[in-house]
Structure 1
Amino acid sequence: MGRFSVTYWLGAADAAEARARALDLTVEQTVEIPRDIVPHGYVEDEILGRLEMLTPGTDARGGYLAEISYSDDDVGGDFVQLLNIVFGNSSIKTQTRVEGMTLSDAICDLCPGPKFGAPGLRERTGVPVGPILMSAIKPVGLSTAELADLAHQFALGGMNLIKDDHGLAGQPTSPHEERLKACVDAVAQANAKTGLASTYVPNITGPAVAIFDRAWMAREIGAGAVMLAPSLVGFDVARTLAADPDFDLPIISHPTFAGANVITPTTGFSHRFFFGLLQRLMGVDAAVYPNFGGRFGFSREECLSIAEGCSSDFGPLKPILPAPGGGMTLERIPEMQAAYGHDVVYLIGGALLRERADLVGACRRLVETVRQF
């Protein structure tokens, strides 16, 4: 029988406490009954989690790292159940954090991963090397015509990806389908003038009954990718869409509603796992997250760990592109290039919108600056 493994950080004073807590995880995440009444045979030998390794922690938190393996049989070909095994009831515990994961063949079959990944996204945007540039049309409250005009100007300025703000849904000022059609047309008109391949990325986040309809509508009308917020709509929504052989648009994830999963170092998930490995399991092609030095509190090290999680070996799953945003400015490009290198999407919104009087010119200056490195 195949097995996959999850690595947890455990806050413990010594090895004995860490071992006890790790063994508790093997039970809590699988059979959820007292260890002494676990049925002998198949349940004990196969379904019960196994503590494979316990080692001291290697960072300032101290503690211990526990690698625990789980049976593919327990997953049963169900992605939601996979997540339940990875960190179900134990997510409620303190001093317990998911750090990493290894895959089995069965998990790879269940999670084919990104359809496009970094290589496909580069092909779609026409940016074979160097950072891809993305911005957002906003704020909520603007009319469809005003938002489409912003999309047009961003495309004229050479932005590769032009996405909805995550707060744009179906408000009366700009209903979803109306905005989708207007922005696709606005970007296409700009591309006809520039010869570029700028792409409009609608936000398809919304009620459960509407998400897939919005995704297919985006494909039919001519959007180049879609964006959704997995922490709002459910992680399996992204995986289901990505795994559909007939859905051929890249997926960009947005981090709204995700913060509580990562912001403390002793609970939840590591930044690397949540914004890197988990996104790839879901089949996301680029993951937006808060950049260091901006208006959120992610550190440089945490952000670089996300980039590593997006690109490191993870079974057969394709690498994806990290998309740091929030407080990005033209002046910070050298700093960002030094940190991230070339395999990155820069999400720059407010800094460009501040230059509304010459938005096209501001975008072109950004493009010129980035291409210097």
Structure 2
Amino acid sequence: MARFTVTYWLAADNAADAQARALDVATEQTVEIPRDIVPDGYVRDEILGQVETITPSTDSRGGFLATLSYSEDDVGGDFLQLLNIVFGNSSIKTGTRVETMSLSEGLKALCPGPRFGAEGLRQRTGAHDGPILMSAIKPVGLPTSELAKLAHDFALGGMHMVKDDHGLANQHTSPYADRLKACVDAIAAANAKTGFTTTYVPNITGPAREVFDRAFMAKEAGAGGVMLAPSLVGFDVARTLAADESFGLPIISHPTFGGANVITPTTGFSHRFFYGQMQRMMGVDAVVYPNFGGRFGFSRDECLSIVAGCSDEFGGLKPILPAPGGGMTLERVPEMQAAYGKDVIYLIGGALLRDKANLPAACQRLVEAVR
């Protein structure tokens, strides 16, 4: 069978230590028994992880980069088993981090990737040149009527997409079904006035039995996409929804509950992998993450590595759009343009809501600043 590779950063003082640690990961991620009792033949030759290369890391962490290969046979056509192989038990160990991976032909069939991707989002929003503009209705606790008014005003001001805040679920102040209809109608009314094609993106994150119901409710109501939090609902939910031919709406991924996977440089996942490559394997079309210089701690380099994970060649999967948020302001637009270029979604919420009484005008100032 074909093999795919995963590259790990390993804490090690020398090459011999790195080799020992790499062999440990290869064993832990596959057969999970002492290497000296691994059965000869198929299990040892095919299923057991293999150490392909080990090289010194050149960044400030020191340590080593180890590339290991795994068999498609071990995956068994199961996406969650794939993730289990990539970083199952070894994720519990310190000094071990997934940096990047490659896709074999069999994995490409298992992970067909985004249905729309960056280009498809441009076609659906009509934003054929320059960044896509998106904002969020918030906060939790407002009644449906007020949230719908915000959606209307965002659309009136020229935003391409208006999404739920990730905290909006099915609270009694704004039940999901009521909010869905009200916001779709409010945005349609604004589009009728402006001629724009602003779309509403509801948050479908919720109990397991309701996620897919909410997704198809959104489609039936005329939403332009859906947003979910894979770290809450499960990584295979996004992949299953994206691959469902009967669904066919763009999916936006929200980072809530996932921060512990990336915030230390010596454990978990690289930003490039977690917010880029893995999102594309799941089939999402855009990924929200904390922007550098905002209220979270991501650095500029980490954010640009996410862009690389979203856009670099990766087994033929479509590129997706990065959506930095959490600190976007009008004053920072030139800085964002220098960092991200045109292939990006600007997610700006609180900065526009500061001028809630004149929200369409505030949105127009953002449109002009981006132009």
**Band of TM-score, shorter chain:** over 0.9
C-alpha distance in structure 1 between counterparts of 2:163 and 2:329, whole Å: 18
Matched, 1:122 2:122: yes
C-alpha distance in structure 2 between counterparts of 1:58 and 1:77, whole Å: 36
C-alpha distance in structure 2 between counterparts of 1:243 and 1:106, whole Å: 16
| SS of residue paired to 1:127 | coil
Indicate the residue corresponding to 1:303 in structure 2: 303
Indicate the residue corresponding to 2:237 in structure 1: 237
Indicate the residue corresponding to 1:363 in structure 2: 363
C-alpha distance in structure 2 between counterparts of 1:171 and 1:37, whole Å: 55
C-alpha distance in structure 2 between counterparts of 1:74 and 1:254, whole Å: 30
| SS of residue paired to 1:5 | strand
Indicate the residue corresponding to 1:324 in structure 2: 324
**Divergent runs of 4+, >2 A:** none
Indicate the residue corresponding to 1:102 in structure 2: 102
Q: 5+ residue gaps in structure 1?
A: none
Q: Which amino acid aligns with 1:90?
A: S
Indicate the residue corresponding to 1:152 in structure 2: 152
How far has the Cα of 1:316 moved from its partner?
A: 1.3
C-alpha distance in structure 2 between counterparts of 1:161 and 1:67, whole Å: 40
Matched, 1:338 2:338: yes
Q: Which amino acid aligns with 2:71?
A: S
Indicate the residue corresponding to 2:288 in structure 1: 288
Indicate the residue corresponding to 1:354 in structure 2: 354
How far has the Cα of 1:129 moved from its partner?
A: 1.3
C-alpha distance in structure 2 between counterparts of 1:157 and 1:299, whole Å: 31
| SS of residue paired to 1:357 | helix
Indicate the residue corresponding to 1:267 in structure 2: 267
Q: Which amino acid aligns with 1:115?
A: R
1:1-373 map, 5 Å? 1-371=1-371
How far has the Cα of 1:113 moved from its partner?
A: 0.2
C-alpha distance in structure 1 between counterparts of 2:285 and 2:125, whole Å: 13
Q: Which amino acid aligns with 1:66?
A: A
Q: Which amino acid aligns with 2:364?
A: R
C-alpha distance in structure 2 between counterparts of 1:50 and 1:307, whole Å: 30
| SS of residue paired to 1:220 | helix
| SS of residue paired to 1:351 | helix
C-alpha distance in structure 2 between counterparts of 1:110 and 1:193, whole Å: 44
Q: 5+ residue gaps in structure 2?
A: none
Q: Which amino acid aligns with 1:81?
A: Q
| SS of residue paired to 1:9 | strand
C-alpha distance in structure 2 between counterparts of 1:253 and 1:120, whole Å: 16
C-alpha distance in structure 2 between counterparts of 1:197 and 1:40, whole Å: 61
| SS of residue paired to 2:252 | strand
After superposition, give the CA deviation of every residue in 1:176-235 in whole Å (9 maximum; x if it has no partner).
000000000001111111111101000000000000000001001100000000000000
Q: Which amino acid aligns with 1:13?
A: D
User: Aligned residues, how many?
Assistant: 371
C-alpha distance in structure 2 between counterparts of 1:81 and 1:159, whole Å: 39
* TM-score normalised over the length of structure 1: 0.99
User: Matched residues, percent identical?
Assistant: 77
How far has the Cα of 1:367 moved from its partner?
A: 0.5
How far has the Cα of 1:22 moved from its partner?
A: 0.1
* TM-score normalised over the length of structure 2: 1.00
After superposition, give the CA deviation of every residue in 1:305-361 in whole Å (9 maximum; x if it has no partner).
001110000011000000000011000000000000000001000000001121000
Taking only aligned residues, the RMSD between alpha carbons, in angstroms, comes to 0.4
After superposition, give the CA deviation of every residue in 1:58-105 in whole Å (9 maximum; x if it has no partner).
211111000000000000000000000000000000000000000001
C-alpha distance in structure 1 between counterparts of 2:195 and 2:147, whole Å: 22
| SS of residue paired to 1:99 | strand
C-alpha distance in structure 2 between counterparts of 1:68 and 1:190, whole Å: 53
After superposition, give the CA deviation of every residue in 1:3-52 in whole Å (9 maximum; x if it has no partner).
11000000100000000000001100000000000000100000000101
